[in-house]
């Protein structure tokens, strides 16, 4: 807000005049005045009282007097302790509202000429999208909208983890047990069908593993394990035999899969064939992936999220190696005796990181190097945002470091939009233990809940079934999005399925409802919204509303700077709350006189516009009626 800058520069000048000391303008602190005190904005004067060598109260009064003298929009001031509270004239706020109401793009910046590539979603193609992806998609989409509002040119992209052992498991299980069923024959969404076989594989592997556990091999591995650190430790702790075995089986599962399992061997063989371009395997892979993509697309459509491009890991997993080898030539990396190539990232306070295996194959990191380069070649972006969970914080630090080592200028623009894991009331989300929440299932739930709540209120009896369904989707999915976006992305959050579909209190519905009320009044008013303000005073709540509207600008900027939609969520909720208060205190259509009525229509309309903008930045739709 310009006003704060204006206050700062004037305050700095006054301090200089009064006390003959330069004070760094940017260090002046200006806050909104707390409700319990008189005033609109507050200057913290403690820092000046040292310079002035006077009590904070006296310093505040001196500065306050000068400010009132200098700036005609400041009508009053008071000093409490070291806080100088400044009151603005009604005229100032009314003019402010006049500007806001006329500026269609209020709060949004003009183009800043910078390009952003924002990656989000990042599903695996062997199973359906789950709750974790919903946080990712909701967050990524919203940050993209917020950056657009801040003047960036944003390109949204997806990364598909479409290769590797996991998809081979699904493929193998389908081959063995699927009897040729397809999404069509089974009337199932493609990603769910493929996911079904991923689960099936795990079940079969589990059975196989259980059988193996009584074999001589198993016993000898168990004895070995008891001599090693984990097993030895547990044994010394005096755990019971059955406990020990359980622990062993858990820790050995991976090794079993790689060394003893027949199914494991088959899956690995399939992966090898895939890597060697075996036509049959490749064809099956393509077929099953296309099922999955169809399924994903349905979910994306329903959530209203989109991508300019889908990067497939399979297209890049071999590349990156060249870039690494080039770096090796310039001695930015080093080769170990076994032939593997490594990066020394100690200067970045990271470890040694392997980039190419001794058999010449590349890794996750290597692959991401190639993807980053491909994106830069295409978009020449200034900023590259990766929406990925915080368990990969280390990976992205390493990616950035390696690219910086390679002197890639774009490396500095890499930003990991890291978000915390979602906890369920029952504990952590683990796909293997079946405690995941399926995305499609969850969406159905919230929409159904919206339907029930809406029908109970009985306000939309004249809606067609299409209109009604559209409304349920807006309400249900909006509720879900708001529930997630309302918390700071970096924080781990608890997801309570019950609460996520809650339609009372601090929710999207609350805001959508305020918006619908406004539209209802505007419909009844049935004229063009006035463009001129003909009143010169107002109620305290009206003043509060204008101040809140005015803050939209700074909020959008702060959200863009921090990549943090929760700021928008909180702002929008707060504005809706103020509007509801206003609604209950003031009559709009039945206002005491025509000028007041027009003013309130204009004010309500501006609130509606900002509420809609705010919700849209979160990816939430508004509705004219509900």
Partner RNA sequence: GGUCUCGUAGCUCAACUGGAUAGAGCAGCUGCCUUCUAAGCAGCAGGUUCCAGGUUCGAGUCCUGGCGGGAUCACCA
Judged by CB under 7 A, which stretch of 289-297, 405-413, 439-447, 491-499 contacts RNA? Answer: 491-499
Kindly state the tokens that stand for 196. Answer: 């079904």
* Stated length of the chain: 626
Q: Among residues 328 and 493, whose Cβ is nearest to RNA?
A: 493
What mask, x for binding RNA by CB under 7 A, covers residues 393 to 412? xxx-----------------
Q: Does 233 bind RNA (CB under 7 A)?
A: no
Minimum separation from the CB atom of position 32 to RNA (A): 5
Rounded-to-integer distance, Cα 431 and Cα 435, Å: 6
Per CB under 7 A, contacts with RNA among 38-57 are 39, 42, 44, 46-47, 50
Supply φ then ψ for residue 415, to 5 degrees: -135, 125
Rounded-to-integer distance, Cα 317 and Cα 417, Å: 23
Element (H or E) spanning 116, and its range? strand 115-119
Q: Among residues 182 and 322, whose Cβ is nearest to RNA?
A: 322
Q: Among residues 235 and 395, whose Cβ is nearest to RNA?
A: 395
Element (H or E) spanning 154, and its range? strand 153-160
Q: Among residues 412 and 496, whose Cβ is nearest to RNA?
A: 496
Minimum separation from the CB atom of position 186 to RNA (A): 27
Judged by CB under 7 A, which stretch of 102-110, 131-139, 432-440, 514-522 contacts RNA? Answer: 514-522
Rounded-to-integer distance, Cα 334 and Cα 325, Å: 10
Per CB under 7 A, contacts with RNA among 463-482 are 471, 475
From candidates 238, 279, 329, 505, binder to RNA by CB under 7 A: 505
Judged by CB under 7 A, which stretch of 61-69, 512-520, 532-540, 611-619 contacts RNA? Answer: 512-520
Q: Among residues 338 and 466, whose Cβ is nearest to RNA?
A: 338
Per CB under 7 A, contacts with RNA among 251-280 are 254
Q: Among residues 148 and 253, whose Cβ is nearest to RNA?
A: 253
Rounded-to-integer distance, Cα 42 and Cα 86, Å: 6
Q: Among residues 47 and 231, whose Cβ is nearest to RNA?
A: 47
Kindly state the tokens that stand for 50. Answer: 């040292």
Element (H or E) spanning 286, and its range? helix 279-303
Per CB under 7 A, contacts with RNA among 276-305 are none
Dihedral, CA atoms, 179, 184, 185, 186, nearest 10 degrees? Answer: 80
From candidates 10, 11, 85, 170, binder to RNA by CB under 7 A: 85
Per CB under 7 A, contacts with RNA among 569-588 are 570, 577, 580-581, 583-584, 586-588
Q: Among residues 85 and 261, whose Cβ is nearest to RNA?
A: 85
Minimum separation from the CB atom of position 181 to RNA (A): 27
Q: Among residues 42 and 609, whose Cβ is nearest to RNA?
A: 42
Q: Among residues 101 and 622, whose Cβ is nearest to RNA?
A: 622
Q: Does 493 bind RNA (CB under 7 A)?
A: yes
Rounded-to-integer distance, Cα 490 and Cα 493, Å: 9
What mask, x for binding RNA by CB under 7 A, covers residues 316 to 355? -x------------------x-x-x----------x--x-
Per CB under 7 A, contacts with RNA among 439-458 are 450, 453-454, 457
From candidates 146, 154, 487, 617, binder to RNA by CB under 7 A: 487
- Cβ neighbors of 430 (< 8 A, separation 6 or more) are 436
Q: Among residues 79 and 178, whose Cβ is nearest to RNA?
A: 79
b/e 410-435 (16+ beta carbons within 10 angstroms → b): bbebbbbbbbbebebeeeebeeeeee
Minimum separation from the CB atom of position 108 to RNA (A): 20
Per CB under 7 A, contacts with RNA among 2-41 are 29, 31-34, 36-37, 39
Minimum separation from the CB atom of position 241 to RNA (A): 26
CA-based radius of gyration for the chain: 30
From candidates 332, 562, 595, 616, binder to RNA by CB under 7 A: 562
Closest alpha carbon to 121 in 130, 111, 112: 130
Q: Among residues 428 and 534, whose Cβ is nearest to RNA?
A: 428
Q: Answer for the pair 56, 45: CB distance below 8 angstroms, yes or no.
A: yes
What mask, x for binding RNA by CB under 7 A, covers residues 126 to 165? -----------------------------------x-xxx
Q: Answer for the pair 201, 169: CB distance below 8 angstroms, yes or no.
A: yes
Surface-to-core class of residue 512, CB atoms within 10 Å of its CB (0-12 exposed, 13-18 middle, 19+ buried): buried
DSSP string, 347-395: GGT--EEEEE-TTS-B-HHHHHHHHHHHHHHHH--SEEEEEEEGGGHHH
DSSP string, 65-109: HHHHHH-TTEEEEEEETTEEEEEEPHHHHHHHHHHHHH-TTTTPP
Q: Does 503 bind RNA (CB under 7 A)?
A: yes
Per CB under 7 A, contacts with RNA among 164-203 are 164-165
Q: Answer for the pair 284, 170: CB distance below 8 angstroms, yes or no.
A: no
Rounded-to-integer distance, Cα 411 and Cα 382, Å: 9
Per CB under 7 A, contacts with RNA among 595-624 are 624
């Amino acid at each position: 807000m310009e006003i704060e800058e204006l206050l700062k520069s004037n305050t700095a000048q006054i301090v200089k005049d009064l006390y003959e000391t330069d004070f760094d303008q940017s260090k002046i602190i200006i806050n909104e005045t707390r409700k319990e005190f008189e005033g609109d904005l507050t200057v913290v004067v403690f820092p000046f009282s040292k310079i002035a060598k006077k009590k904070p109260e006296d310093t505040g009064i001196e500065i306050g007097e000068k400010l009132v003298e200098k700036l005609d929009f400041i009508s009053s001031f008071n000093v409490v302790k070291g806080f100088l509270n400044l009151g603005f004239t009604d005229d100032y706020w009314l003019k402010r509202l006049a500007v806001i109401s006329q500026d269609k793009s209020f709060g949004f910046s003009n183009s800043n000429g910078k390009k952003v590539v924002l990656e989000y979603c990042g599903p695996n193609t062997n199973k359906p999208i789950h709750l974790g992806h919903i946080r990712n998609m909701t967050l990524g989409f919203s940050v993209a909208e917020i950056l657009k509002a801040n003047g960036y040119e944003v390109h949204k992209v997806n990364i598909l983890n479409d290769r590797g052992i996991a998809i081979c498991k699904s493929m193998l299980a389908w081959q063995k047990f699927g009897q040729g069923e397809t999404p069509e024959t089974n009337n199932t969404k493609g990603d769910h069908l493929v996911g079904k076989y991923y689960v099936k594989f795990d079940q079969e592997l589990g059975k196989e593993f259980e059988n193996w556990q009584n074999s001589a091999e198993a016993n000898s591995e168990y004895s070995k394990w008891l001599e090693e650190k984990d097993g030895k430790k547990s044994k010394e702790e005096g755990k019971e035999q059955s406990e020990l075995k359980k622990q062993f089986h858990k820790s050995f599962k991976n090794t079993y899969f790689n060394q003893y399992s027949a199914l494991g061997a088959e899956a690995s063989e399939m992966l090898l064939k895939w890597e060697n371009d075996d036509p049959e395997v490749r064809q099956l892979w393509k077929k099953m992936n296309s099922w999955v993509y169809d399924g994903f697309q349905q979910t994306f459509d329903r959530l209203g999220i989109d991508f300019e491009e889908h990067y497939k890991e399979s297209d890049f997993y071999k590349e990156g190696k060249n870039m690494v080898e080039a770096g090796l030539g310039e001695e930015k990396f080093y080769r170990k005796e076994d032939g593997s190539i490594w990066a020394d990232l100690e200067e970045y306070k990271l470890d040694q990181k392997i980039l190419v295996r001794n058999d010449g194959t590349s890794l996750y990191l290597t692959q991401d190097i190639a993807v980053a380069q491909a994106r830069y070649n295409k978009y020449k972006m200034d900023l590259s945002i990766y929406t990925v969970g915080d368990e990969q914080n280390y990976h992205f630090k390493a990616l950035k470091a390696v690219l910086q080592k390679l002197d890639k200028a774009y490396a500095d623009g890499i930003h990991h939009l890291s978000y915390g894991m979602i906890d369920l009331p029952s504990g952590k989300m683990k796909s293997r233990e079946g405690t995941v929440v399926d995305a499609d299932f969850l969406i159905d739930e919230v929409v159904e809940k919206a339907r029930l709540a809406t029908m109970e209120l009985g306000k939309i009896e004249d809606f067609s079934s299409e209109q009604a369904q559209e409304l349920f989707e807006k309400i249900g999915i909006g509720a879900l999005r708001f529930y997630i976006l309302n918390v700071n992305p970096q924080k781990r959050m608890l997801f309570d399925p019950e609460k996520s579909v809650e339609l009372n209190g601090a929710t999207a519905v609350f805001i959508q409802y305020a918006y619908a009320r406004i539209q209802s009044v505007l419909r009844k008013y049935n004229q063009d919204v006035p463009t001129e303000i003909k009143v010169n005073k107002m109620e305290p709540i009206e003043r509060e509303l204008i101040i809140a509207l005015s803050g939209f600008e700074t909020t959008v900027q702060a959200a863009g700077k921090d990549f943090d939609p929760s700021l928008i969520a909180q702002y929008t909720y707060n504005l809706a709350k103020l509007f509801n208060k206003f609604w209950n205190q003031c009559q709009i259509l039945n206002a005491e006189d025509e000028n007041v009525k027009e003013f309130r229509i204009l004010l309500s309309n501006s609130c509606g516009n900002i509420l809609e903008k705010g919700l849209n930045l979160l990816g939430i739709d508004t509705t004219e009626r509900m």
